[in-house]
Amino acid sequence: MSESQTSPVETKHGLSQHWPVATLALAVVLIFAVAMMTFQVKETEYAVVKTLGKAKVDESGEIITYEPGLHFKWPFVDQVWRHDKRLQCYELTRGQIEQITTRDQYQIVVSTYILWKVGDPGLFMKRFKTTSEAQKKLDSLVRTSRNSILPQHNFSDLVSVNRGAEIEQIEAEMLESVGREAMKEYGISVARVGFRQLGFPESVTTKVFDRMAAERRSRSEALLASGNSQALQIRSDAERKAAEILAVAEAEAKEIRGQGDEEAAKHYAVFKENPELAMFLRNLDALKETLNEKDTLILDTSTPPFHLFKAGATDLGKEPAKSK
């Protein structure tokens, strides 16, 4: 047998030796094919498939946005467009710190930021190719709105004691102006437009401090006046209630005294008929008040009310025996 010829046994033996390599190569090809034909969408992003540069649409003509998960695509034909669906914070770069004149001709220094996200992926994709293009458009919209709304407000709105509420009102006006156009024209949902920095040139700072000090003095005086008014009202109410209580107490006292006088009059009428009994009862009450269980007194029995201890003193209508 020549050297160039290989027996069937040797051929079979060679294939059995190289099957792991062939299997690995086939697995790599399959993985590559799956990777080329599928794409994954994350929870935090939008995804749109473009076929030959045109986005896929549904039966109604709306661009299809894919839910999170694994999806199919044709390799080399379909391209996947993605964008983050979370809120993004963008601080204006062009004119980031800019001087603006208020309605009463004061200069202020402001820097602005915007919180935004994609609201309509189809419209957003038609308008912009990259996020930076969207940010440039937002930069223009916010600057236009800010430079239009701030000059409508006075300098006092920004340095008053109610500064927070006034600035929130201005920010709300800007949000309404920017958000309406951004969503309608560009598919951008704007969550907030706010001021990151609000300052004043050096020439205005002294006036700012003076105005703030004056407003705080005025506020302090108003609070003191209100406190004094409330204190006066409280004192007046307390005096009125005290007078009412005293009047009620005096009326009750007069009523009690009247009842006592009435009862006393009844007793006086009885005692008037028998004066000796009245004096006896009065002396007996006096003894009860002055003597306790363990008291020891050494007194002359001729001293009222202790004369009751004499023999025969309790016999009314008779003279008590005289002490020898």
Per-residue pLDDT of the chain (324 residues; tens, 9 = 90+): 445 555 554 555 555 566 777 777 777 777 777 677 777 778 778 787 877 767 777 777 777 777 877 877 778 777 777 777 888 899 887 656 778 888 888 888 888 899 999 888 888 888 888 888 898 999 999 988 988 888 888 877 776 656 677 888 888 999 999 999 999 999 999 999 988 887 776 666 666 666 667 777 787 888 888 888 898 899 888 988 998 898 888 888 888 888 887 777 776 766 666 666 667 777 667 666 666 666 666 656 666 656 666 666 666 555 555 544
- Say if strands 78-84 and 45-51 run parallel, antiparallel, or are unpaired: antiparallel
Measured CA distances, 109 to 147, 200, 283, 291 (Å) = 12, 5, 100, 95
Domain ranges for the chain, please list them: 12-84, 88-200, 289-324
How many of the other CB atoms lie within 10 Å of CB of 274? 13
**What local confidence, expressed as pLDDT, does residue 192 receive?**
92
**What local confidence, expressed as pLDDT, does residue 181 receive?**
92
**What local confidence, expressed as pLDDT, does residue 175 receive?**
92
Residue with the two structure tokens 């700012």:
208
How many of the other CB atoms lie within 10 Å of CB of 106? 19
- Within the chain, residue ranges assigned H as helices are 8-37, 121-127, 131-149, 156-159, 163-186, 202-273, 275-290
Phi and psi of 115, rounded to 5°?
-105, 125
How many of the other CB atoms lie within 10 Å of CB of 160? 16
Element at 47 (helix H, strand E): strand 45-51
DSSP summary character for residue 321: P
> What is the homologous superfamily of the domain 88-200 according to CATH?
Band 7 domain (3.30.479.30)
Whether omega for the bond prior to residue 305 falls within 30 degrees of 0, making it cis, is: yes
Residue 21, token pair as written in the block: 């390599």
Contact between 111 and 91 under an 8 Å Cβ cutoff? The reply is: yes
